[in-house]
Each structure stands twice: as C-alpha cells, then as structure tokens.
Amino acid sequence: MIAVLLFIVCFSPLELELAGKLPEAGAAWQEDGSLSGQVRVMGRLVEEAIYAGDARRAFLLAGELGSICNDADIQQFWMARIAWASGLPVLAAEELKQMNPSDPWLLHRALGLSALFTENGEVAIRELTMSVAAASTARKAFWSGIDLCSAYLNAGRYSDALQLSRLIKVRYPGDAMGDVMYGLCLQVSGQFGESSRVLNSIDMDNPAAVSLARSIMEGFEQ
C-alpha cells in the first residue's frame, strides 16, 4: 500500500498508465476523480487476464467494470472471449459472430476473433486489419494489432507476424503484453535466443504478461 501511495505522489495517473503500472494508475485515477481513467485501466486488466488465460480473474474484473460502465457491447465481447479462455472456442466464436455493435472497431474485432477461433485465418486477418484501421484510440489499435499478430501466426504468415509485433514493440515501448507477443513471434520465427531474452525480461510488475511468457517458453520446451 505504501508503494502505491509513493507512485501516486511521484507520478501522474497517465504516466503510471503509460508505464504499465496499472494497479497504481487505477488508484491514481481514482484519487484524481477520473472515472474514464479508471475504466480504461480496468479494461486493460480485463484484456490482459483474457490473453493470459485467467478466465476467473477476467470474469471478476469484467463484472466489477460492468457495475460502473454501462457498455453492453464491450461486456458481451469480453464474456464471449472469457468463454474462449475457459476452453469453449465454438461458443465464443458464435457469440462474437452475432455481435452488432455501433463501433466499427469493435465490430471488426469481434468478427476477426470469431474467425480466428474457428481457424479461418484469412477472414480473421481481413477483419482485424479493418479493426486496426477503425481504431479511434492508440489503445484500441494496440489490442487489434495484438489480435492481428495472432491471426498472422494462425495463417502461417510468420514474417508478417514478426514485422507487426516489432512495430507494436516500437510504438508501445515498455508494454508487457506487446513484449510477450514480440517474444512469441521471435520464437515461432526460429529466433530462439532473442525470444528467450525478450520473454525472460518481461516486467515482473505485470503478472498476466509474466504468466503468459512462461507458458510460451514452457510450450516450446516440451
């Protein structure tokens, strides 16, 4: 608790958020009275929990966020992906395919992930590329870019995945989830030494990213 208070005193909420210090950033935004800042940080925590396969944590965070942010579309989107993280890809794909949000970024992202979950790589690439183009914020573009990397990998387009993940790493320096994707793309591309270096250097303050990085390394060791 003392460490969190020190961070709040020494850094602005936005600086903490950009540095990936999400719990501290959330507390700082709360102290600042910014609901939009708190919602944005909690949304990042939900996304990271889903990517890390921690369905229980993602469900709890999404439910908590739903109590302060009345956005039915994003809630449906997260719940479908939580189903995927729970080992139900067919259900997740169907729920995502049925979505019809007004935000084109979310629409194309939902359709892209639905295609990805059903192993339709080319449709996933097309939809997620449109999602990146439709993103109204840098953070939205980030998540769609991460999804697009996954689609490239699924389609066997490893060079494209590596190029995009490197661009994400440059565009979002210090973002642990971006580093994890870059490490994965390096690994799949056969650059094992550099991949190990990147994955072993993931910010320990981000437990979701650390867990995902370890899973990737363990998967390639087997």
* C-beta separation of 37 from 197 below 8 A: no
Tell me the three state secondary structure of residue 201: coil
pLDDT-based confidence at 27, cuts 50/70/90?
A: low
The pLDDT assigned to 55 comes to: 93
For the domain covering 157-222, report its CATH number: 1.25.40
Token pair 């989830």 is found at 177
Give the model's pLDDT for residue 24. Answer: 58
Which tokens hold the place of 2? 């003392």
Nearest to 131 by CA among 118, 154, 153, 115: 115
Contact present, 158 and 189 (Cβ < 8 Å)? yes
Q: What is the pLDDT of residues 75-94, one digit of tens each?
A: 999 999 999 999 999 999 99
Percent pLDDT > 90 in the chain is 64
Whether 132 contacts 141, CB under 8 Å: yes
